[in-house]
Structure 1
Amino acid sequence: MSETLTTTAPAVTGERADLLVALAKQRHFLRFTTRDLTDEQAGQRTTASELCLGGLIKHVTSVERLWANFIVDGPSAMPDFSAFTEADYARRADEFRMLPGETLAGVLADYETVARRTDELVTALPDLNATQPLPKAPWFEPDAEWSARRVLLHIATETAQHAGHADIIRESLDGAKSMG
């Protein structure tokens, strides 16, 4: 299994290059926590939380896909959070765990596909200042808009946060660390 997320994005400079480097670095740390693991280990809970390494990667994949779609399609790409049902919440909970039949290789491949698409957006977007209105949700400010730039920074931040969670889970699993 590759320890780094590879992309073949066209060469860019300036802010776009910085965004691509930030995204690649955080994705690397998240993926690196799964090195040399079996599918069973990737699905194992090692802390009081429900989180597992494979589930974290599934979640980050889903979040990145959702936000990349938001950049292109606006709030229609997002679920209607105000109308979430118990079934919606159950599907969302499944995002944080490895389900029967899922493999670490499959989860990582899906993540790489989503990351490649995001990287293509970074290079191809005509304007990083273009905004979309956020959907209605209790955690968003009413009538707020986010630029493509802010969404990309959010993706990098979300990935970094979960890479930290993954590092703790992996160290609890077998003592391996991503850093140090």
Structure 2
Amino acid sequence: MTLDDPTTRESTTRESTTRDLAEAPALSGERADLLEVLAKHRHFLRFTTRDLTDEQAGLRTTAGELCLGGLIKHVTSVERGWADFILDGPSAMGDFTAMTEADWAQRADEFRMLPGETLAGVLADYAEVARRTDDLVATLPDLEAAQPLPKAPWFEPAAQWSVRRVLLHVIAETAQHAGHADIVRESLDGAKSMG
């Protein structure tokens, strides 16, 4: 079987989800709760890609610019960026107020499947970022540790976020885009995540 075979794609997605949950660090309390909720929303986001070809993962099915592969790329980038922020502070994300049109155009590419990108590759990248985040949450000494936010028009000047606040933001972003993905998938072929 190949990855073009729908049975293999579904199996690969299911195995990836099961493996991700099984390999998550054994935790209890708040950290376990945060990671469990994040894992649930990651699953719903990935689940919207079941049985799809690379071409289907790149299709826009609504009036918006979103496609399923692009949504996963975006959430991967967001989660990676916030994990870097937890470790390195605002320098890890840069100054959004200084971005050029070319910078914004490059960022827009994370919402699209680009030539040569595959759904399997996008999902593998997401799984790797998820493992890194989970390991980071498991090993950080303090969820209260805070960093100043990077400069951006959407952040209050001089605001700081704790690790906990960052994780809540990543969970919210993942859940929001899982909902977007559900609409894109249902518009594609009628498949639903629930119901």
Where on the TM-score scale, by shorter chain, does this alignment land: which range? over 0.9
Runs of 4+, deviation exceeding 6 Å: none
Which residue of structure 2 lines up, in the alignment, with residue 78 of structure 1? Answer: 93
Q: Does 1:170 align with 2:170?
A: no
Which residue of structure 1 lines up, in the alignment, with residue 74 of structure 2? Answer: 59
Q: Which of residues 156, 173, 178 is equivalent to 2:171? A: 156
Q: How does 1:1-180 map to 2 (within 5 A)?
A: 1-3=12-14, 4=17, 6-7=20-21, 8-180=23-195
Distance 1:157 1:33 in 2: 17
- AA paired with 2:165? R
Distance 1:48 1:126 in 2: 45
Deviations 1:137-179 (A, max 9, x none): 1100111000000000100100000000000000000000001
Secondary structure of residue in 2 paired with 1:152: helix
Structure 2: any 5+ residue segments left out of the alignment?
1-11
- Count of residue correspondences: 180
- AA paired with 1:144? A
Distance 2:41 2:190 in 1: 21
Secondary structure of residue in 1 paired with 2:181: helix
- AA paired with 2:106? R
Distance 2:127 2:105 in 1: 25
Secondary structure of residue in 1 paired with 2:147: strand
Structure 1: any 5+ residue segments left out of the alignment?
none
Shift of 1:79: 2.2
Distance 2:103 2:143 in 1: 32
Distance 1:97 1:35 in 2: 18
- TM-score, normalised to structure 1, is 0.98
- AA paired with 1:52? C
Q: Among all aligned residue pairs of Structure 1 and Structure 2, give the percentage whose two residues are the same amino acid.
A: 80
Distance 1:85 1:68 in 2: 24
CA RMSD of aligned residues (A): 0.8
